[in-house]
Structure 1
Amino acid sequence: MNSAVEELLQQPGIWRANAPARNTGLEHVSSGFDSLDACLPGGGWPLGAVTEILHGQSGIGELRLLMPALVELTRRGRWVALIAPPHIPYAPALAAYGLDLSRLLLVHPRAESDALWAVEQALRAGTCGAVLAWPRRLDERSLRRLQLAAEAGNSWSLLFRDVRSAEQPSPAALRLQLEERKGKTLVQLLKCRGGHAGQHLLLDLERDVRLPATEAPAVEQPVAEKPARRPRRAAPRPLSRPPAPAGTPQLDLPLAGGAPRRGRRR
């Protein structure tokens, strides 16, 4: 009897209540953190849905947490759109991660209503793998519109919101709350469609990450009577904060301080 039950449970259409669903009907991309993938339905971030990142302050690792997935999406040839980012993206840090900068799109709308319209259009276009936005105010109706747009374009909608938004109902498939804990990042799953809410993970964003390998560029040898000494190339440290002018506000990678510039693409 027990063997028959175990055989039944091995069927892919059977979901155990104590395990995250693997067949969610959505496409997923790995987070780059094995322990987080194990908690997420489908084994990664859900495309075609809204993910909310709630935090009390900026620069505690909210973007570093997403970088492996964003890198993977650009390698698939899809765009990553940043709508009204609060700081200017730091291109050298993004490139050090492996992000294809030719697939990065920046949009700086003039008004909050224009920003939400831009997010919805980018999600529906179907060419954006991920659309990141930092809305100040967002009601449930607007959230549902973004959820439908993400489904239509099979895009990953990422909304960075204040932690107080946790009290607001949301149709998002995934809601995470981040806190800084002694140099590490505490990830709380507030809502997880197809999985278990209430789970807590303590991640070291520098050591636990699994970044895809990048190919080193070829170095041409100079022609000389004596062999030229090749300078030692220090390994890039994309997780360290780049220096900024005094008095300039700055986030941990990949955003650096400064006022937004006009333009759609850098």
Structure 2
Amino acid sequence: RTPLWADLKPGGRFTAVDLGKAGGTGVVAKRLVAAGLVDGSALTPTGRTFAEEAARAVETRGQEVVTPLERPLKPSGGLVILRGNLAPDGCVVKMAGHERLLHGGPARVFEREEDAMAAVTQRQIHAGDVVVIRYEGPRGGPGMREMLGVTAALVGEGLGEQVALLTDGRFSGATKGLMAGHVAPEAAVGGPIAAIEEGDRITFDVEARRLDLYVDEAVIRERLARWRPPPPRYTSGVFAKYVALVSSAAEGAVTRPA
């Protein structure tokens, strides 16, 4: 329901510095209050309400960073949730306004970020591939590492607009190209991403909000029945405790009492 008003990089023209000169985040807050998209009565750390803080913002005359209320850049924002047989609980795709909306290709499967990075730098990834990095979720990582390095390497190899990437880990706000992160359930708990095999066909369809593995459902069930979790990366200490307590990315990866 929330339109895109801020024309900011990587998908827009301006930087955060430009936003500050235009009047700051308070200008965006004004749009949200005026559109009825936030609870203006909510208190902020200053002791004033959100609406009161928004009203204090001074918008620079003639600024172009934040568009007028009635003329948003796009009817929706830059994050899209996909679901499908690879992400029954959802995954997140960041759209900067110019990415491909459809991609299908063979899976290139890696069990951790470092293995994927090595394949990219050794030029083992090719146009059309779908790079899969799994066991990087809240439990698998543990801690849900950021996959920015691999996406940056793909761009550096000239593949940023020719491949897709999916992971149960996180991605950065600077990530470019078609990438699905936060895939849930994650591989470490036996989610469908754990059933992917090298060469399987995977399709991203952003308009249809789908992420699917083109393998018969019976085959996926059989693979998951044979699946066994890998040995834990930590058997003691704070990371082991975290793995035992953390929830799915679809639930915010919050920790809960045992």
Q: Is TM > 0.5 for Structure 1 vs Structure 2?
A: no
Higher relative contact order (CA 8 A, sep 6+): 1
Greater strand share, structure number: 1
TM-score scaled by length of structure 2: 0.28
